[in-house]
Amino acid sequence: EDKVVQSPLSLVVHEGDTVTLNCSYEVTNFRSLLWYKQEKKAPTFLFMLTSSGIEKKSGRLSSILDKKELFSILNITATQTGDSAVYLCAVNTGNQFYFGTGTSLTVIP
């Protein structure tokens, strides 16, 4: 059964801290892995990863994929209160996307 598991389920940090979110997967036909940020509305796209070892970066956010060990990490440095959200990881198998249950991040001032 295809599945995507995210950890931790939730974390609370102070502004300025660095966090690492994890996403591991077991799927039969991996095409890509995507990270989304979900605040109180629709998930918004952050990154798409298809190749191992190539870091994608956008401001304070970065992500990398390890296709051998079947996981990805999302790093957020110098966190801000605006980073508070649920971060979703999804794996595309060509037929559909499998989502993890998300990591809830709360950044305290």
Partner 1 sequence: DSGVTQTPKHLITATGQRVTLRCSPRSGDLSVYWYQQSLDQGLQFLIQYYNGEERAKGNILERFSAQQFPDLHSELNLSSLELGDSALYFCASSVDRTGSNYGYTFGSGTRLTVV
Which member of 64, 100, 105, 107 binds partner 1 (CB under 8 A)?
100
Which member of 22, 70, 99, 104 binds partner 1 (CB under 8 A)?
99
Question: Cβ of residue 31: shortest distance to partner 1, in angstroms?
Answer: 5
Give the integer Cα–Cα distance in Å for 82 and 108.
10
Which member of 32, 75, 84, 104 binds partner 1 (CB under 8 A)?
32
C-alpha distances out from residue 37 to 58, 86, 107, 108, Å: 13, 6, 14, 18
Closest CA to 2 of 102, 90, 65, 104: 90
Question: Cβ of residue 86: shortest distance to partner 1, in angstroms?
Answer: 9
